[in-house]
Structure 1
Amino acid sequence: MIMRKRYTYAQFDTDVKKLARALRPRTDRFDAIYGVPRGGLVLAVCLSHSLGKPILLDPRRITKRTLVADDIADSGATLKALLKRQKVFLVVTLYRTTHSRMRPDFSCRTKKKNDWIVFPWETDASSAYDGTLKMRRPRAARISRFP
């Protein structure tokens, strides 16, 4: 039976501070933070403010000097697909599971197998994963370069 667990903004604030403390001694080893859409974006922005590092919005610009942030490493499929294309400095998550195929370098909490975490920036409806968000290999396209 799936159990919905509410994760609060107070817990999030505590966890961001915990991750920032762990990452602060390593800030000279990464240049930017990439937040995996959608769940990792909130964490990435908060870490960006805490650590004084810019946000990367384009996954094609990820390098080995990029910190990757996500809300949860559940099956690990999303992070594994991302890392298959590009090596990164570190991966941080708020939650991880014991059965994930991708173990983050830093995480704050462990999710039990039958728990469904509802983050405070989600609604009950948006929290239900419907399988429509899939990672796709970017097509060769003409994009403008950032300065």
Structure 2
Amino acid sequence: MPERDEKCADCSSSGLSFAPNSGKSSAAKEPCSWFEIHYLVKEVARQAGAKKYDCILAIANGGIIPARLLAEELGIDDVKLVPVRKKKIIAQEMPALDKKKRYLIIDDIYDTGDTYRKVSKAVKGFSCDYAFCMTRRPTDAGICGRILGHDRWIVFPWERTQ
């Protein structure tokens, strides 16, 4: 059965082409363009649009730029940072959250689920939904703009490409 390439309607209609999903692991890198990020964020916003959020929480570092773009798409002025460094949440730098507010937490990619699990634990008891520009495979962790279906390293446009 041929692999399906998951992408949003805007990307499909724009003629934007993603690398084919082989489903096999590869050491190759796959570049992600600014154009693709904008369309993935639009797809996440489309899926999240029916719900009303008070604040976007950006998972550092990969979620910072998608959070700002998503905030613009959803008309949300409040963006806060979930401080993650060296795969650990810096608890003393966590923003103060309000149990009366609804939060949308975003990251660039859902890979192993490790960051997601740590962040979920840190915000337990608050009203939070999750969004990812990309996921490696289908997940019920949150909404996503694109399902990759492969293990190639994604090089986001804000990363160094040495």
Question: Is residue 92 from structure 1 mapped to residue 116 from structure 2 by the alignment?
Answer: no
Greater CA drift, 49-58 or 7-16:
49-58
Indicate if the aligned counterparts of 2:55 and 2:104 stay in contact, CA closer than 8 A. yes
Tell me, what secondary structure is at the counterpart of 1:26?
coil
TM-score (norm: length of structure 1): 0.73
Tell me, what secondary structure is at the counterpart of 1:39?
coil
Structure 2: runs of 5 or more not aligned: 1-25, 82-92
Indicate if the aligned counterparts of 1:91 and 1:105 stay in contact, CA closer than 8 A. yes
Structure ranking higher in helix proportion: 1
Identity across the alignment (%):
26
TM-score (norm: length of structure 2): 0.67
Q: CA deviation at 1:117?
A: 0.1
Q: Give the whole-Å Cα distance in 2 for the aligned partners of 1:20 and 1:113.
A: 24
Greater CA drift, 106-115 or 55-64:
55-64
Question: Is residue 35 from structure 1 mapped to residue 58 from structure 2 by the alignment?
Answer: yes
Indicate if the aligned counterparts of 1:36 and 1:68 stay in contact, CA closer than 8 A. yes
Question: Is residue 74 from structure 1 mapped to residue 111 from structure 2 by the alignment?
Answer: yes
Q: Give the whole-Å Cα distance in 1 for the aligned partners of 2:157 and 2:66.
A: 12
Question: Is residue 56 from structure 1 mapped to residue 80 from structure 2 by the alignment?
Answer: yes
Distance 1:63 1:119, change over 3 A: farther
Tell me, what secondary structure is at the counterpart of 1:124?
coil
Which residue type is aligned with residue 37 of structure 1? A
Indicate if the aligned counterparts of 1:76 and 1:103 stay in contact, CA closer than 8 A. no
Indicate if the aligned counterparts of 2:80 and 2:95 stay in contact, CA closer than 8 A. no
Q: CA deviation at 1:103?
A: 4.2
What's the Cα RMSD here? Answer: 2.0
Total equivalences in the alignment: 121
